[in-house]
Structure 1
Amino acid sequence: MHRAPGLSVRIKLTLSYAGFLMLAGVLLLAVVWVFLLRYVPDGAIMARGFVPNRSDLLRAFAPRAAAALVFLLLFGLLGGWVLAGRMLAPLTRITEATRMATNGSLSHRIRLEGDQDEFRELADAFDTMLARLEAHVAEQRRFAANASHELRTPLAISQTLLDVARSDPAKNPGELVERLHAVNARAIDLTEALLMLSRADQRSFAREVVDLSLLVEEATETLLPLAEKRGVTVETSGDITPAIGSQALLLQVTTNLVHNAIVHNLPGRGTVWVTTGVHAGAAVLTVENTGDRLPPHLVWALTEPFQRGTERIRGDHAGVGLGLAIVKSITQAHDGHLTITPRPAGGLRIDVRLPGPRPRRAW
């Protein structure tokens, strides 16, 4: 936005200091003048010598008063300039840091010294914002690099299959079509997952009261064929659990958690427990499963995009590595909290805590 140039804040503060000092000086001289007038007669009196009247007093007082006001003006301008500079020095550092951040340098910090005051609070808040912004930009760069790699993989496979088919016209086209269909389906799943993740990050959704227990029933019913195919038992329990959010996004959270619990499990003898409930005014969705033992450092990395546990799993329903990343993003978009804990016997326990509806006030 283009704006006309104006006086700097330092000049404005200097003029304010000088003007206030001049006003105080004028008021002080006025009080002195009124005080003197009380003891000086209006006319000249000759009694045992000369006694000055008000005219003589004015001629003697006015030049000295003017000189005092000039001194106060100069002193106010000089002192105000110095004081304003010292007061605005922290603001200058904050402005320089802002310009550096605008130019792309997010690693710079103000680290303002001194006691806690308004400028210190502003500088600390700005440093915190820069730290979060730097971490967010780094995360976005990693995500963009990983997404590019993941999107390039199916395209490269398709290109290889087409090159092989072109060099060998006698090759069975049915097998080629089948493999291209699988690669294309994977690329579509990845694109839809990226769109879902972007939608959750933007928080562009309407909020309503959603029963998590109903979402659990819908998700488990949808994934029941997959569980039966892998020999995994899914057990659900819980009461009505109202939460505030988007039904479509929260269904995606439930589906992703149950899907991951089924896929990353003990084949042929695994179990998944899904429970819902209200605890301390919050709606809680818990998904537990049996499986391999996972170290804590690996558990915390599972919510990063394109992480698939101990290896990059391939095969049916392997996913695209965005399941828990989407769960984390949607949970944060709903002002919720995601907790992942390794089970001592193997597998994971994942808790999603979401805000519940506010209780109605009794009138």
Structure 2
Amino acid sequence: MTRRLLLSYLTLAALLLVCLEFPLGFLYSRGERERVINAAKDEAESVSAYAALSIAAGRAAQDLPERAAHCAARIGGKVLIVDGSGALLATSHPLTEREEDSLASWPGIAAALRGTATEDVRTSTIGGVEYLAVATPVRHGAEGQGAVRITVPTRMVSERVHHVWLLLALGGLAALAAVAALGFVIARWTGRPIRELEHATKELAVGGTAVPVAITKGPPEVRSLAATFNRTAARLEHLLSSQRAFAGEASHQLKTPLAALRLRLENLENDIAERGRGSLAAALTETDRLARMVEGLLAMARLDESAAERERVDLGQVCAERHHAWSPLFERHGVWLVLAGDAEGEVMALPGAVEQILDNLLSNALRVSPPGTTVTIAPRPYPAHERRFPHRASGPGRVELHVVDEGPGMSEEQRRRAFDRFWRAPDAPKGGTGLGLALVQRLAHASGGEALLRGAPTGGLDAVVTLPTAGPRHPAPPVRPPAPHTWRCVPTRRPGRPRSRDRSAA
């Protein structure tokens, strides 16, 4: 804003200076020229009157040369006096014979010898110097006696005109500099409320406390904007505070009754008849489902109110840690958990996001995987053929994180709806909440990536999460030929106890 205001001030000042200085310069130039012409005319008439008296008195040969020399020395030019036939009477500078013979044919002298009342004013260039020529007839009464021609160099006039133009240019630059300095101060003063609004908006955007902006500065429009911002920020801060309070209190207020309810249901197991054991098991299952749903809702609420910055995450290390943590549970259900992939390096993600993404995807994969099948965790580089798309090529590098199972899979319509909150497949077994994949998608988007489901070659699901890679911490080393394509596979030990097939939606 400061630059735009300053540019507008300078543009207006420059236009004003152009509109003032150019007419002033042209007026001064024309005035100087007219002043020199009038002075030359006056001098020519004075010499003409003196020459007429000298010719009438018969002293032209004695008086006119001295008069011509004196006049030429005073005006810094040249004086030439001829008689009625065009013969030279006096001159302040020597002439060649050819010039003396052709004096009567010179335009100014010829016009004066014809006795016209007009003067011939010409500007010629002699020896690289501009001269102003004035010719006046010499008359005694009505009879023409000759002509006087005066030439005055205009170099001094040109120098004065150029000097004035230079002064105007320097004055204009000084005025622009003054306008720039004053305009910068005014622009900074005018834009200060806007900058305060921008700073407060940034603080609010990153999760900081909304500091009220002063509404006593700037023009009325800015003060009105500041007042509106203060009301909006206060309202938003109140809503965020309420959400934070809910996320913090609901965790304890909801978990405790659910845990107590489950404990009471488990204590009833010995007091319930055999025919009621099925209902008790269903109640316990629904209690577990409700607990998971509460955890998912609280996680999404915390994600909505969180404004954490992205950080560098070692994707290979996180994958190895989650593989180690989930392997015992997969073994108990008779499923292989394999870590494979060739993508090493860091990605940009919210703190803890990659861990939560893997936990939800692995939980869903374990729920739908039959005994004896394999679930694969595979971080891979972004496919080269996908980088041709404009919206991807201009962004940072990307890495794909795959979690592939060999379960029953989903139809294309089901894969499109799987990321909706609380959505579950029609044939999904009890126990799911429909929040896992929704949370995965929210975490991926908040980390600058995306999540999608594909059909796996083995018939199951290929859950793909794309994350942006982190830039190098230090200048990159010289480019070397790529190493041969390798895969690393870290399987668990062969499961020993199978379980029944359990198919459910994410």
Q: TM-score, normalised by structure 1?
A: 0.49
If the length of structure 2 is used for normalisation, what is the TM-score? 0.37
Q: Of the two, which has the highest radius of gyration?
A: 2
